[in-house]
Structure 1
Amino acid sequence: MPGPVKAVLTDIEGTTSSIAFVTDTLFPYARTRLADYVAAHPAETAPLLDAVRAEEAGDPVETLLRWIDEDRKATPLKTLQGLIWAEGYADGTLKGHVYPDAVDALRRWHAQGLALYVYSSGSIAAQKLIFGYSNAGDLTPLFSGYFDTSSGPKRDAQSYRHIAGEIGLPAAEILFLSDNAQEIAAARAAGMQVLHIDRDGGSGDIASFAGIEL
């Protein structure tokens, strides 16, 4: 790395975890249960439905289902998905996928005293679930904090400046890891160190966490 790294900020989907787990397991799980969950939890979901109506007219449940199909990065959708997934993780139906190389690196960096953070379009609650109920056990003790779209869009440099301020470190001392080139560009523009993870071995900087030495 070009300078000292004191904190690591990582994306989830395609970075620590398989995209297929999200698209083929988590999204369908939430989609099939969304209408029933809303009906069963009217007080809890009412503010989320109001937020959906504020963005689009029409039946908010139908809107949410369409947003799932579109992979819309909308905060009320992500919050509701997290609530639905919590039930699946709690009863053992869901188990969070985390790549073994990511588990090894995160544990090693934590032992070295580096502060670890997550920044994902999924809600903070959903982030804690995927790591708390992971296929490698409860990984949440490794992390010092979590950020989602309430901190700003992931392709906006200002979001990374805000996160650096929340972490309390100069951006140059934070390493951001993501599989998304536009997110990498935004973090770099904010002054962070970056590594583009490409698990398909394409044009990224590195194919897995195994080759990262801090």
Structure 2
Amino acid sequence: MQWYAFHEEPPSSSLFPEGKKKRLMDLFGKWCDEVITLISDTPEDMILQRDIYDRDMIYTWGIGRVTLIGDAAHPMQPNLGQGGCMAIEDCYQLILELDKVAQNGSGDFDVISALRRYEKKRIPRVRVLHTASRLASKLLVNYRPYIEFKFWPLSNLANMKIKHPGIYVARALLKFTFPHFVTWMIAGHGLW
């Protein structure tokens, strides 16, 4: 089993004198019991820190007889699990376009045209998933499950947890839109 958490920090902030587990509990210890249990039950030496650097997607993937695929063209954060999937779809589309060249001709112009067609067909779908991945990352980094009351007269209710109202709005929105988006995301090439 693998679990991961996002927290925005400056690069190279990997020194945690009290340990990574303590750092995670400081960050996520007020979340639900399941999160606390995951952190508590994970051995310290099994907790890995992997810095993730985000980069904008580029919209020109190739020049001449050279093109890019996968992370070279459109790196994605791992929260939707689509980085490798997009690279596989890139390869599939590239094979389809180059196969047309092999069947109909083999001149330089035909190969270059095939590479540009591959890019033109892939960029719109990848753009949507790249944007969704970035949005999911921003939502995860800024997620706060409860409203904290630190002002009078409610400051006496420190132990009272009230779910953030945005959770209800998001839940209602996701209930109707997310299944369609996931179907499109997973079905990939066939629906595009």
> Shorter-chain TM-score category?
under 0.3
Structure 1 length-normalised TM: 0.23
Name whichever structure is richer in helix by fraction.
2
Structure with bigger gyration radius: 2
Higher relative contact order (CA 8 A, sep 6+): 1
Structure 2 length-normalised TM: 0.25
